[in-house]
Amino acid sequence: MIRLMTRKEQHPAHDLQHEPVLAVCGWSGAGKTTVLEAVIAKLAGRGLRVAVVKHDAHGVQVDRRGKDSDRLFRAGASVHLRSPDELVSRVRTAVGEGLESAVWNLLRRHDLVLVEGHKGTPLPKVWCTDESGAPPPPAVESVLSVLARDDRRPDLLGRIIDARLDEAHRRRPVFGGLLIGGSGRRMGSPKQLLSFRGRSVLRRCLDGLGPAVDRAVILGRGALPEDVGPLPQLPDAPDCGDGPAAAFLTAFRWAPRCCWVLAACDMPRLSRDAMDWLLAARRPGRWAVVPRCDSGHLEPLLALYEPPVAALLAEQLRGGRRALHHLAQHPTVHTPRIPDRLASAWTNVNTPEQLALLEAGESGNGRQGETA
């Protein structure tokens, strides 16, 4: 069984203080909803996925007593109300399940979680003053800023949110996962064990990937060449199927709040320059960077994936689509063209002839889709 990394293992003191989460607090009538409405419209206009958790001390009321959906909820079910363009969920929470669990769950599918109210929680927060201008009570902790009730409030809150997004993005660890495990029938040997100019192919890939990431991990089963040295190795989790999608899900199960660069082990020209170009394309709101070659073909096996894309893949798999390139249909996935000067980094080897061409200094064939 794959053991999940704790948040402390993923990053020192990695908790909600360092995630894209912000509480907007203040007394009733202070204008919290009004300022959130203005700011969220701008964030959504930029393509960001925003979730809001609203505190209601008197109990949540989303349905009228006696309606079919209310009767089903009171009978003990969680109820989901669907229409063509929206979904409303009325879900029963487990005993002891609090705000933190709800926020972590929302972060799986959103760029930002805003909490209205909940002034007693340790979340980072801003305080909206009412007409009196009184500051927050001393018991309210982790207040980043106090916002007066004036015309500047939406702009000030927007700047604070942008800073939170940028900080969370900058602090997120980047892990590199090298995929192995193919039988290597065409090559006569598992690809990671092949030799390329005096070193193993896997070592060559690691030389390009490793210096650019916080931690490198081997994804998949199989023997490793001696020149790789000790590295964590994650066999595909039994319930994740096989192929690249299984390695993808296993990686995010092990370290769910990290950004992952996934790379096949058969690209001996993987370079630090290619990694720097890929990492420079990261932005808040981009859930993946899946490069395109000149022909327009996507290259998902030297690509970058942020935490929310794991939920997209899981949903895609439930629909029977296993290929990673299907992720590019989602609007949060960025698909830039690979610069000519870096194209050789995406060159893979599938036959002894291709490997010989690369050894001789020729380009060989680029990847033509996922080979696993």
| pLDDT single digits (tens) 167-177 | 999 999 999 99
Q: DSSP of 267-329, one letter per residue?
A: -TT--HHHHHHHHHT--TT--EE--B-TTS-B-TTEEEE-TTHHHHHHHHHHTT---GGGGGG
Does the pLDDT of residue 231 top 80, yes or no?
Answer: yes
Does the pLDDT of residue 110 top 90, yes or no?
Answer: yes
Tell me the domain boundaries of the chain: 7-171, 174-359
Most confident listed range (114-118, 223-227, 259-263, 359-363)? 259-263
> CA 286, CA 125: separation in Å to the nearest integer?
25
pTM of the model: 0.85
- What are 267-276's pLDDT values in tens digits? 999 999 999 9
**Other beta carbons within 10 Å of 311:** 14
| CA–CA distances in Å: residue 213 to residues 92, 98, 369 | 40, 34, 24
pLDDT of 356: 82
Class of domain 7-171: alpha beta
Angle between helices 243-254 and 309-318 (to 10 degrees): 140
Phi-psi region of 78 (alpha: psi -120 to 50; beta: other; left: phi over 0): beta
What phi and psi, each to the nearest 5 degrees, are found at residue 53? Answer: -105, 120
Higher pLDDT, 343 or 195: 343
Does the pLDDT of residue 8 top 50, yes or no?
Answer: no
Q: How confident is residue 355, by pLDDT bands cut at 50, 70 and 90?
A: confident
Q: Among the CATH numbers 3.90.550.10, 1.10.275.10, 3.10.180.10, 3.40.50.720, which is that of 174-359?
A: 3.90.550.10
Count helices and strands (H / E) in the chain.
10, 16
Q: Quick one: tokens of 25?
A: 């607090």
Q: How confident is residue 38, by pLDDT bands cut at 50, 70 and 90?
A: very high
Please give the average per-residue pLDDT across 211-229, as a whole number.
Answer: 93
pLDDT of 60: 55
Paired sense of beta strands 174-179 and 79-83, if any: unpaired
| CA–CA distances in Å: residue 264 to residues 182, 344, 347 | 10, 14, 10
Please give the average per-residue pLDDT across 320-342, as a whole number.
Answer: 92
> CA 270, CA 98: separation in Å to the nearest integer?
45
Length of the chain: 372
